[in-house]
Amino acid sequence: MSLGATDIGVPTAPWEDAKARFLEGLSGPEKALFHEASLENLFYTGSAAYKKYSADSKLRAVSTRLQPLVESVEGFGKALDIFSNTSSLLLCPIWGSIRVVLHMAEQYGKCFDKLAEMFSRIGDVLPRFRTYEAIFMGHKRLRLALCNAYLAIIKFSVDAKSVFLKAGASPMLWTPFAKRFDNYVSEFRTCQKNVEKEAETCHMIESKQARELELANTKAKKRRELLAFLSLLDYRGHHRKLQQLRHQGTGSWLAEIQSFRLWLETTTSDCFCCFGIPGSGKTVLASTIIDSMSPFFVDMGSAICYHYCDYSNVSTLDISLIFGTLLRQLLERIEIPADIADEIHQYSEGYRNILPKDLLKLLTKVLGCFEKVMLVLDGVDELAKRDQTAVIEAVDLLTKLSSPVVKFMIFSRREEKLIRRAFECYDFIDISVEYVRHDIAKFVSDSIDEKLQNHELVIQDPGLKQIIINTLVEGAEDM
């Protein structure tokens, strides 16, 4: 992909040359790591050794140290997409080069730590694109200065790669590379100065713009504080873990159930319940529904929010956290209305104690900013009876609002009598082997194929595989 005259006007040759230099000498798997790199898999390579290393708290600490660098590159890439759709040319080599050199360094503990520290220092001196966003498109020289700063990341990675390729990161080569790092830091600082100089020539630091920037920063900080007051739960992180547990090609059966399809198609508020015994896959199914429905809730004015009640994390069983987490997800989608921000501020400053009923009232107000919303609650049976009653009352209240359209999905154990009686007026489904037969068969079949390929299992009779599948599927009927 090349930049045309209508794009941001940054020469492609230096980027293409830096990419070619980095790829030179890499093995096939390393090139695959490079080409497949993204923000999501930056710290993951797929190797067993690296998975083991990833579980270490040290890597989590490293990812935290690299957060300023990651956020800077991510912001730069988003800007390129918005302005010119050129992020694949400029951004992918950055992620790829960082990912590969971290992978190369992971087998050398000390080198890995030192390399991570170098990337951390780079992140500290990189010019933040957000600071210059307002004038990015209007000034070519500023665009060039910013792009040069991020191009330097690849150049640094090329040098780091050479160290690992030449002698396995031996001290004899690492020491001079570490000394050269000071030159890289100086280069990054020079880039920062060039950016600031160009920004100054664009009158970026005029008093009015400085005040506007300060106001924007203050506003953003206040927004973060208000959202944090409502909930600090890492709901996205928990959802990602469930995505990893989900077996590919399973969980689609619910969308084929007529009652569920009719429930989705109606334009009125309503609730749909999924009941099942422990271990029947309710939580993973909930994550599947969230992912499959998300594309239908991307427009402004729509949202899909969720909460997983997890008995292993007691805080998730608190009704205030449940309402607060749903409220936070909604507010993350919009500019927080002034009256709602003021009300939350009153609570956050301790002027008033916030109760579950207050959070539900706020949730009701915020829903008024939307046209359609889906709320998914999993594991409601894990809640105390009092909190189950609060959820039941919330579903009754919110599905009776004149606006917006609110679609509730409740996942619970089938033997929870309070919940079943309360929701018996809504459509529901009991998860049974009849529905998940295909999922079980696919999982077993794929597992057998994997073991056969890894020589962990030998089947001489070709028909034995199907016998195993049938036996396990039939055995599941006794759940």
Residues 22 and 153 in one domain: yes
Q: Residue 292 is part of a domain; what is its CATH number? A: 3.40.50.300
Q: How far apart are CA 369 and CA 472, in angstroms?
A: 49
pLDDT of the residue at 394: 96
- Residue 377, H or E segment: strand 372-378
Using DSSP's 3-state secondary structure scheme, residue 174 falls into: helix
- Rg (the chain; Cα; Å): 27
> With 50 as the cut, is the pLDDT of residue 425 above it?
yes
- Residue 302, H or E segment: strand 302-308
Within a domain: residue 6? no
**Residue range of the domain that includes 459:** 435-476
pLDDT of the residue at 132: 65
Q: What is the largest CA-CA distance in the chain?
A: 81
Using DSSP's 3-state secondary structure scheme, residue 275 falls into: strand
Q: Which of 17-31, 192-206, 372-386, 415-429 has the lowest mean pLDDT?
A: 192-206
pLDDT of the residue at 48: 45
Within a domain: residue 442? yes
> With 90 as the cut, is the pLDDT of residue 400 above it?
yes
Best CA proximity match to 184, nearest among 165, 163, 205: 163
Q: Which of 33-47, 88-102, 374-388 has the lowest mean pLDDT?
A: 33-47
- Highest averaged pLDDT of the listed ranges 101-105, 178-182, 306-310, 474-478: 306-310
pLDDT of the residue at 1: 44
pLDDT of the residue at 153: 87
Residues 79 and 200 in one domain: yes
Within a domain: residue 172? yes
Give 349's Cβ-side CA count (13 Å radius).
8
- State how many domains the chain has: 3
State the DSSP string of 217-254: HHHHHHHHHHHHHH----HHHHHHHHHHHSPTT-SGGG
The model's pLDDT over 113-168, given as tens digits with 9 standing for 90+, comes to: 788 888 888 877 776 655 665 565 556 777 787 788 888 888 888 988 888 887 65
For the residues 38-45, what does the mean pLDDT come to? 74
Residues 383 and 451 in one domain: no
Q: How far apart are CA 477 and CA 479, in angstroms?
A: 5
Within a domain: residue 225? no
Within a domain: residue 439? yes
Give 202's Cβ-side CA count (13 Å radius).
22
Encoded tokens for 266: 């109606």
Residues 146 and 241 in one domain: no
> With 50 as the cut, is the pLDDT of residue 205 above it?
no
pLDDT of the residue at 3: 45
Question: CA dist 144 to 12, 226, 416, 431, Å?
Answer: 11, 37, 62, 57
Residues 472 and 388 in one domain: no
Partners of residue 274 on adjacent β-strands = 411, 429
pTM of this structure: 0.54
* Cβ pair 146, 129 in contact under 8 A: yes
Query: Residue 60: which region, alpha, beta or left (left: phi > 0; alpha: psi -120 to 50)?
Result: alpha
> With 60 as the cut, is the pLDDT of residue 85 above it?
no
Residue 110 CB neighbours (<10 A)? 11
> With 90 as the cut, is the pLDDT of residue 318 above it?
yes
Give 59's Cβ-side CA count (13 Å radius).
16
pLDDT of the residue at 4: 44
Residues 85 and 191 in one domain: yes
Please, which pLDDT band fits residue 306 given cuts at 50, 70 and 90?
Answer: very high
pLDDT of the residue at 372: 95
The model's pLDDT over 221-274, given as tens digits with 9 standing for 90+, comes to: 999 999 999 999 999 999 999 888 877 777 678 888 899 999 999 999 999 999
Using DSSP's 3-state secondary structure scheme, residue 120 falls into: helix
Residues 159 and 20 in one domain: yes
Look up tokens 């209007």; give the residue: 138
- Between 205 and 88, name the one with better pLDDT: 88
Within a domain: residue 229? no
> With 80 as the cut, is the pLDDT of residue 203 above it?
no
Encoded tokens for 218: 């203050």
- Between 106 and 290, name the one with better pLDDT: 290
Mean of the per-residue pLDDT values of the chain: 81
The model's pLDDT over 206-219, given as tens digits with 9 standing for 90+, comes to: 566 667 778 888 88
Domain boundary among 190, 205, 220: 205
pLDDT of the residue at 49: 44
